[in-house]
Amino acid sequence: MDANYDLLRELTESHGAPGHEDRIRDIVRRELADVVDDIRTDAMGNVVATVEGAETPDYEVAVAAHMDEIGFMVTHVTDAGFLKLDALGGWDPRVLRAQRVTVHASEGDIEGVIGSPPPHTMSEEERESTDEVADLYVDLGRDGETVADLVSVGDVVTMAQDTRVLGDTVTGKSMDDRVCLFAMLEAAKRITPDVTVHFAATVQEEVGLRGAKALGVDLDPDLALALDVTVANDIPQFSDESKHVTELGEGAAIKLKDGSVITNPKVHKRMQSVAETRDIAHQLEVLPAGGTDTAGFQNTNGAKPVGAISVPLRYMHTVTEAAHEDDIDATVDLLAAVLDTEDGAHDYQL
């Protein structure tokens, strides 16, 4: 991978459930402190790092990538010391049993495991039942009294997973959306824009695009671009290629639509033109469902032209997600090229 793998690993292995993005926020501020003109955090925890435009500073572009990862919140501590959970974001409970987790308690992190009964003792009906997050429990390997002293209702829980290179891919937890946050940080270090660019690391995307909606009002940009992952169903379970959405290794995905937004045609066509001119590998994305920060900016404070670049991702919203190194590089290249060629004179009105 052309870019800084150590930074990507740090971002993905760090923990930051919705509303609790502190550790990621510290990394973002550290990485951007020396490359922007101003950096600030708002009351929700969004980080906004601003580069003043060299030629047309009054024209403002917002670039957003979210910091939070899907996780859980503790709802109950049983007398026996097991934790019950509520989901923060969209989980498939089938992939959660027997997985290691980290409980973020006030006195420090505690390792645990999501319990799974052995199949030997399960009835046929129990083996075929569909899990819900409410059915799961976390075992901390401690007695009830000790757990009650360590863990409180409201503590958050994230997956315990390391990041590894697997062939041409990078795998690990929270690739959604840390791989795009990484791309935004790397692009910010490359550009000298003519227009003012606000690099926004947003919060609480996984529970309703909440940070981006707030920033849409606070920033009121002339153009908004979002970075997020998208579905890559190019795996054996999907023999119908029409359901792949995107494919790993085919480049950055230029979003045309998802379940929350239809991007501005003039914006995504300019992205395609830049990609073709710069010979940056790219593909088009039509995602039937799901939402991104793109929608958070589109009409929160009046009508705004919006676009989005996506990193194709296998196994999205599972414990181990996978992105292709070439697609990550292409996303950094495309974002930097789009920002470097934005002069504020492009007409995005329809």
Show which residues are catalytic. Answer: 205
Q: Report the C-alpha gap between 250 and 3 in whole angstroms.
A: 18
Q: What is the largest CA-CA distance in the chain?
A: 70
Residue 220 CB-half CA count within 13 A: 5
Q: Report the C-alpha gap between 153 and 74 in whole angstroms.
A: 5
- Backbone φ and ψ for 2, nearest 5 degrees, come out as -65, -35
Q: How far apart are the first and last CA of the chain?
A: 38
Q: Report the C-alpha gap between 74 and 195 in whole angstroms.
A: 44
| Sheet (strand 321-324) strand order | 164-166, 169-172, 321-324
Q: How far is CA 233 from the centre of its chain?
A: 18
